[in-house]
């Protein structure tokens, strides 16, 4: 190393240490507003956005999408969606909900917006950290999650009446739609006293 380079590298190092110390002091001070009713500052928002988009893209890329046009699959997904998703993602029969205005990030209105199937499957199964989106894979098998994805491809453009009709025809939502519980005659099993979700 030439002697003229040494002061330069020392300067870079000192700057990095100062920046890290400054960032740590800012976090420790508690001045950042973590409340859901105050939007992120621009740099934090941009960072979170990039982190979320790159992560979902990378993780969803390898998925194989099954046939999502099967009417029985769409019908099952309709029942799932009506039971678990509308409070946050709305439906063609809902203008707003009590929970949605206060959520940050705001959940997309999935009755209007069509989401790419791989992306939808991955997000539904794994959820999104630091947002209200739960990981439904903890209580639902892959087949059930694909049924939700199939329904999500159909719902944008449905009228309120069409939506109500398909939900009325949908099979009831079991509390835990897991592989072990998908044998044919499980409808009389004990739901542990949990209230029916439909």
Interacting span for ligand HEC (CB under 6 A) from 21-29, 65-73, 117-125, 186-194: 117-125
For the bound state, the minimum distance from the C-beta of residue 113 to ligand HEC, rounded and expressed in Å, comes to 7
Taking CB under 6 A as the criterion, which residues in 177-196 touch ligand HEC?
A: none
Contacts of 70 (CB under 8 A, 6+ apart): 150
Q: Check residue 68 for interaction with ligand HEC (CB under 6 A).
A: no
Specify the residue for token string 């990030």.
Answer: 105
**Both structure tokens of 22:** 């400054």
Tell me which stretch binds ligand HEC (CB under 6 A): 1-9, 30-38, 39-47, 76-84. 76-84
Residues of this chain, 86-105, that bind ligand HEC according to CB under 6 A: 87-89, 103, 105
63 in contact with ligand HEC (CB under 6 A):
no
**Contact with ligand HEC (CB under 6 A) among 73, 78, 90, 120:** 120
Distance (Å, whole) CA 59 – CA 6: 42
- Cα separation, 6 vs 198, whole angstroms: 70
Beta bridge partners of 188: none
- Total residues interacting with ligand HEC, rule: CB under 6 A: 23
Q: What angle do CA 11, 12, 13 make, to 5 degrees?
A: 90
Give least dist CB 72 to ligand HEC, A. 18
Minimum CB distance to ligand HEC, residue 118 (Å): 11
Contact at 8 Å (CB) between 153 and 137?
no
Q: Which region, judged by CB under 6 A, interacts with ligand HEC, from 35-43, 67-75, 112-120, 154-162?
A: 112-120
φ, ψ dihedrals at 184, nearest 5°: -70, -35
Burial class (CB in 10 A: 0-12, 13-18, 19+), 135: middle
Q: 185, 97 in Cβ contact below 8 A? A: no
User: Applying CB under 6 A, which of residues 85, 150, 158, 167 lies at the interface with ligand HEC?
Assistant: 85
Q: Which residues bind ligand HEC (CB under 6 A)?
A: 52, 80-81, 84-85, 87-89, 103, 105, 107-108, 115, 119-120, 123-124, 128, 131-133, 136, 148
């Amino acid at each position: 190393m030439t002697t003229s380079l040494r002061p330069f590298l020392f300067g870079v190092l000192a700057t990095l240490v100062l920046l890290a110390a400054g960032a740590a002091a800012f976090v420790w001070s508690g001045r950042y507003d973590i409340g859901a009713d105050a939007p992120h500052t621009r740099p934090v928002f941009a960072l979170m956005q990039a982190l979320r988009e790159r992560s979902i893209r990378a993780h969803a890329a390898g998925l194989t999408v099954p046939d999502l046009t099967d009417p029985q699959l769409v019908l099952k997904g309709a029942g799932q969606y009506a039971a678990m998703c509308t409070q946050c993602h709305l439906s063609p029969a809902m203008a707003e909900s009590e929970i949605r205005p206060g959520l940050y990030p705001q959940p997309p209105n999935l009755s209007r917006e069509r989401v790419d199937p791989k992306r939808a499957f991955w997000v539904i199964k794994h959820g999104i950290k630091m947002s209200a989106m739960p990981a439904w894979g903890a209580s639902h098998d892959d087949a059930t999650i694909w049924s939700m994805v199939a329904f999500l491809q159909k719902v944008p453009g449905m009228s309120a009446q069409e939506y109500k009709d398909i939900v009325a025809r949908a099979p009831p939502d079991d509390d835990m739609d897991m592989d072990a519980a998908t044998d044919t005659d499980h409808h009389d099993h004990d739901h542990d006293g949990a209230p029916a979700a439909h």
